[in-house]
Chains A and B, each alone.
Chain A
């Protein structure tokens, strides 16, 4: 009897919180739902009543945006650049973090600190020379060039995060591996990496999101339609098609849907990646 009443009490106490949360969720999600609904409307419907739901679902808008406005190409570029960047960041940062966390060498602290200060600068601090460097190296307007810039930008955080994680590994693990005749690279590959999968996963998703969404550097370094990533493509597309309301909404959705899918599947990893800095 008492259990029931205390349960009821607790539920009642939670009611105002639910009410607030539902209200906040509605306000947060309405713009997204509206954009999705509008992408299925015709231009006429959008002009005449922006708030109404679509009368019939026009998936043709998506087809037009995908094939008519090179979103297929942008999509490929984004996938290629993001997946490659994430793979390189994970490999290089884990290698370096292992060294920083577990090996003693002259300059360990100092070099690590040099990586750390990279996190303190705003993005605009490097853009002028970066642009001219990329042209010098013939890497401007190139997907490889953008990948290198993204990798360089993600390394400090990645190394910081993985170093902290590797430091928590017991030294005995490495010592016994060494006794078994395991080289440090083998230890890294066979033991450290498999044991760090959750961290690598979180980091990977975090870097994935950041790279997929990046706009500022891409805008500066890419100005060729065939090399554009999705955010750049959406930006250029809007310049061209802003009067085509429906197509414009479809373009926004094509850019947004991949991140929504990744987010739904890897929500926990992403949030872990975000919160890892706050909780030591």
Chain B
């Protein structure tokens, strides 16, 4: 391989300025795989959402905005999307705050930092499937552990049909999601905290700042960029939540925990490719706008302040 890549002239005196094929050869395999199996399908999804699909084979028949017309008039699409937004709203607050607090606690202690970080991050390493099944058992109405545990500690009034009640099913899945995701925010915040020069904290302590003052006046402002990263990550995971909900409720009961990715998956499973690609395209636009909009807004704020 090295032979063929270097070839005659590969050892030129100033390789940096000589126009040659080497840089292209280096990126070629990555580009090909990436284009064929990642970006290509994304673009194809956009284009093909305007065409009539026959089973899995797109036909040449242009369909205009017919698929979009259906999707945008489908209350179940909007229902699924609104659940994603509920998820997003909760996800940027709850796992992020838990992660921040735990990171600060770990930062404040001397011994056992590694242990606590490792233990608290543990749920975050699991597949969504494992997380979902752990919680499916916790919530199980007859063999589950949550309702008996609540009764044991005298909170019998809070026992629920966790996954069978349309009013709370979505929130039950969110609890499982939170359990598995606060660890991400935590380790990222912790890394951010360790990058802040310690004399800032020392100065705050000398000034007699208490824990809360320190948190809101020093820690959080110092973690500005880290927040942007953590929240952007949440935007992607909350808008793309699939496995946990798919297994816990399948989007039910009566669509009460349906989200976009399950909606799209269901469409694909039923060979409604036109609707699936149209729904996926709308979702993609929303996610791209949300994430880039958020990042731009953060940049603008950090410049203007």
Residues of A within 8 A of B (CB): 10, 13-14, 17-18, 20-21, 24-25, 28-29, 31-32, 34-35, 38, 46-47, 50-51, 92-93, 95-96, 98-100, 103-106, 108, 111, 114-115, 117-118, 120-133, 135, 148-149, 151-153, 155-156, 159, 178, 181, 183-186, 188-189, 209, 212-216, 219-220, 230-232, 234-235, 238, 245, 248-249, 252, 255-256, 259-260, 263-264, 267, 270-271, 274-275, 277-279
Contact = CB atoms under 8 A, between A and B. Distances in A.
Given A95-B27, A121-B288, A123-B240, A271 B117 contact: yes
A28 B179 contact: yes
A223 to B, nearest CB: 10
Interface string B14-40: 011101001110110111011011111
Given A132-B58, A213-B127, 12 more contacts: A20-B102, A31-B134, A50-B148, A133-B36, A155-B34, A156-B34, A183-B2, A184-B10, A220-B265, A252-B137, A275-B187, A279-B192
B299 interface: no
Interface residues of B, number: 103
B42 A32 contact: no
The A contact surface, by secondary structure, is helix
Given A130-B37, A183-B10, A120 B17 contact: no
Interface string B254-274: 000000110011001000010
Given A96-B26, A124-B265, A129-B45, A20 B105 contact: yes
A231 B280 contact: no
Interface string B226-244: 1001100000100110110
A271 B187 CA distance: 7
B27 to A, nearest CB: 4
B189 to A, nearest CB: 9
Contacts of A104: 16-17, 23
Contact of B268 (A20, A128, A184): A128
Contacts of A153: 37-38
Contacts of A185: 1-2, 5-6, 10
Contacts of A149: 37-38
Given A96-B31, A128-B276, A256-B130, A10 B110 contact: yes
Interface string B262-303: 001100100001001100110110011001100000000000
A178 B11 CA distance: 7
B96 interface: no
B94 to A, nearest CB: 14
A50 B230 CA distance: 37
A38 B127 contact: no
Contact of A115 (B34, B106, B128, B134): B34
B5 A122 contact: no
Contacts of B58: 132
Contact of B116 (A21, A99, A181, A232): A21
A142 to B, nearest CB: 13
Given A14-B110, A220-B268, A278 B261 contact: no
A125 B42 contact: yes
A128 B278 CA distance: 10
B109 A99 contact: no
B165 interface: no
Contacts of B11: 178, 181, 183
A215 to B, nearest CB: 4
